[in-house]
Amino acid sequence: MGTLYGSDSSGKKVNKGYICYTSINSLVKELEITPLDFTKTIHIINGILEIIDKGKHPKATGFGNKYIDCC
């Protein structure tokens, strides 16, 4: 989400980000970010906000207790 904020506040194109694995001695990896990644992230954030605002959960899949977007 920091990348989304950085892109919006600076008006510059953001095409990379970083992830820090705190369980592996704070290992930091660089990630390439595509426009599709931004679209997917905004969709996921909107889904989370819908759950918070309306108490509406995503549709369940046919695989037990998992939601459609679960891995």
pLDDT band at 66 (very low <50, low <70, confident <90, very high): low
Structure confidence by residue, pLDDT tens digits, 11-65: 778 888 888 888 878 899 999 988 898 889 888 888 888 888 888 776 766 666 5
Measuring CA to CA, which residue among 2, 9, 5, 4 is closest to residue 39? 4
Measuring CA to CA, which residue among 58, 57, 21, 17 is closest to residue 38? 17
pLDDT band at 67 (very low <50, low <70, confident <90, very high): low
| pLDDT, greater one: 32 or 10 | 32
Q: Which residues contact 45 (CB under 8 A, 6 or more apart)?
A: 1
pTM beyond cutoff 0.75: no
Measuring CA to CA, which residue among 30, 21, 24 is closest to residue 3? 30
Tokens of 36: 């599709």
